[in-house]
Amino acid sequence: MPRHVNFVVRQIIPSMDLYRRDWVPEPGLGLAGTWLGAVVSDAAGQDYLGLRGTDDSVPGMTHVATPFCGFRSLERNFDGMPPHLYADYAVIDGYEPIQVEETGDHVQTAYQSGRVLRDADGLHWYDASGRWELHAKTVSDVVIIHVPEQEGVEREVFYRHELMLATGAINGIPVSGYAHQDFAYGPPGTVYPELPIVRSLQGMWVSWLHEDADGRLGGGCFWQGRGDLDFGPGYQLKNGVTTVHDHVIAKPTFNADAKMVELEVAFGSDSYTFAFDTAGSPIHYFGRVVATSSGTVPARSWCWVEYAGDLLGPELLDMMIRQFDLARGR
């Protein structure tokens, strides 16, 4: 029989207060990591990946690579790591201290190699040299998944996610596509590798955005449990409405080299088929929507999957963050 875990999924209307550094979903929690990611395309069909994290290993620090992140020019193959978009980021040691500026109408997180600004017009993400510039509008509600402490879950965790439609320029070339921002919260002083989603619950994480020919947007985000764990919380964006789900069903297909090439997903009576042809790292796959239960194939779509198999476990995660014990006062 599948193992079960108790969780709650809820949604919140986006507001500026949600992006202030002291915001938490419930009193007594602490921020344990936040990530800003984007997959965008130019008119020639070239795809680009950007991913920056903060606070997930060392509070108050941002990073561009730890180690499967960064700015990359995606190539449609499964051959290891795609090339860095900027050579200087390839040698950044990873962590930069952040400075946060908050006023009544904006929140800015700045660091040596760039900055991220939230204001009434959305999110604005800049490389310090002006080579990467994205502007993103939130198109979904903010959705929060809470897994309380229980048998098999030694620490409670909250995970938060939202979808954004992005435009901008990379090296002066106009791009557009998908972006998301997600956050993790846990007991004060903990960081993401110490929380149960990545240590024991997650088998697969999926996030996507699609755009129909008439401009309507859809998408979603969800988890699948590791091994025999029945764990499928998530949400769906459809016709401008966000709905939360507690039993998303996803069935991946792998090729002979154990690379994910297809994914069938069901949100109740709605289903989607994704095809994958790109790897952003050993655990990240990128692709697009190729079929839906409505019979409409989106004009454009961007799908991001994290599937680590048995690669990520408590032992490896503990080894990754042990080097930061002194910086964390341990």
Select from 142, 136, 143 the least CA-distant residue to 37.
Answer: 136
Give the number of other Cβ atoms within 10 Å of residue 322's Cβ: 11
The chain-wide mean pLDDT, for the chain, equals 93
306: Cα within 13 Å, side-chain hemisphere:
16
Does pLDDT of 66 surpass 80?
no
Does pLDDT of 2 surpass 80?
no
Select from 160, 159, 158, 157 the least CA-distant residue to 138.
Answer: 160
Does pLDDT of 1 surpass 60?
no
Q: Which amino acid is at 41?
A: S
User: pLDDT tens digits for 13-43?
Assistant: 999 999 999 999 999 999 999 999 999 999 9
Q: Which amino acid is at 85?
A: L
The pTM (predicted TM-score) of the whole model is: 0.94
Burial of 175-207, coded b for 16+ CB within 10 Å and e otherwise, reads: bbbbbbbbbbbbeeebbbbbbbbbbbbbbbbbb
Residue 259: helix, strand or coil by DSSP? coil
Residue 92: which pLDDT band, with cuts at 50, 70 and 90? low
* Cα–Cα distance for residue pair 282/313, rounded to 1 Å: 15
* 209 token code pair: 């955005």
Name the burial class of residue 24, with classes exposed (0-12), middle (13-18) and buried (19+) by CB atoms within 10 angstroms of its CB. Answer: middle
Across 99-117, average pLDDT: 96
Torsion of the alpha carbons at 62, 50, 208 and 250, rounded to the nearest 10: -70
pLDDT at 90: 74
pLDDT at 184: 97
Beta strands 99-102 and 114-119: pairing type?
unpaired
Cβ atoms 293, 46 nearer than 8 A:
no
Across 171-183, average pLDDT: 97
Cβ atoms 304, 284 nearer than 8 A:
yes
Select from 302, 246, 242, 314 the least CA-distant residue to 272.
Answer: 302
Does pLDDT of 207 surpass 70?
yes
* 277 token code pair: 């042809």
Q: Which amino acid is at 277?
A: D
Select from 168, 107, 91 the least CA-distant residue to 137.
Answer: 168
Does pLDDT of 157 surpass 60?
yes
From residue 131, give the alpha-carbon distance in Å to each of 114, 181, 303. Answer: 10, 21, 24
